[in-house]
């Protein structure tokens, strides 16, 4: 834009001020969006979505989680509220052993538990049909 007089100068200044305001608003919106992605819950969501998209990792993660859960549960059942150091050491060994075993045999455990659940529900359905 060519400025020839004071009126052209005033128009050019207003246009530049409007452009500056739009850029500030755009920058603020981008900054807000960026800070939203850095919140811990959003970081976890994006991490889990990336993990879900990675082939093979969900099965491995499920196996490890099952192993840890069974290991912790077995340690709790074995130890109870016992303060003895020997029982704690043995409990930790049992926990680690069962966690590893469950992680290795998780496919068979899932299959057998699924069959057990099917049998339980089949017997309930049969019981309900005989009652009616």
- DSSP of 11-57, one letter per residue? HHHHHHHHHHHHHHHHHHHHHHHHHHHTSHHHHHHHHHHHHHHSTTH
Asked whether residue 51 is assigned to any structural domain, the reply reads no
Q: Is the pTM of this model over 0.85?
A: no
d(CA 58, CA 65): 10
Asked whether residue 12 is assigned to any structural domain, the reply reads no
Asked whether residue 95 is assigned to any structural domain, the reply reads yes
Asked whether residue 108 is assigned to any structural domain, the reply reads yes
Total tally of structural domains belonging to the chain: 1
Average pLDDT, the chain: 78
Question: Is residue 11 over pLDDT 90?
Answer: yes
- Which range marks the domain in which residue 69 is found? 59-131
d(CA 71, CA 68): 5
Question: Is residue 33 over pLDDT 80?
Answer: yes
Asked whether residue 75 is assigned to any structural domain, the reply reads yes
Asked whether residue 116 is assigned to any structural domain, the reply reads yes
How many CB atoms sit inside 10 A of residue 29's CB? Answer: 10
Asked whether residue 33 is assigned to any structural domain, the reply reads no
Asked whether residue 49 is assigned to any structural domain, the reply reads no
């Amino acid at each position: 834009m060519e400025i020839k007089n004071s009126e052209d100068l005033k128009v050019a200044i207003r246009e530049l001020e409007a452009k500056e305001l739009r850029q500030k608003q755009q920058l603020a919106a981008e900054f807000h969006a960026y800070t939203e992605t850095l919140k811990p819950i959003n970081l976890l969501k994006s991490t889990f979505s990336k993990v879900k998209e990675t082939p093979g990792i969900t099965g491995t993660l499920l196996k490890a989680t099952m192993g840890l859960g069974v290991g912790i549960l077995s340690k709790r059942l074995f130890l109870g509220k016992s303060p003895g150091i020997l029982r704690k050491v043995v409990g930790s060994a049992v926990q680690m052993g069962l966690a590893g075993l469950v992680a290795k045999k998780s496919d068979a455990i899932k299959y057998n538990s699924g069959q057990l659940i099917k049998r339980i529900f089949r017997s309930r359905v049969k019981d309900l049909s005989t009652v009616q």
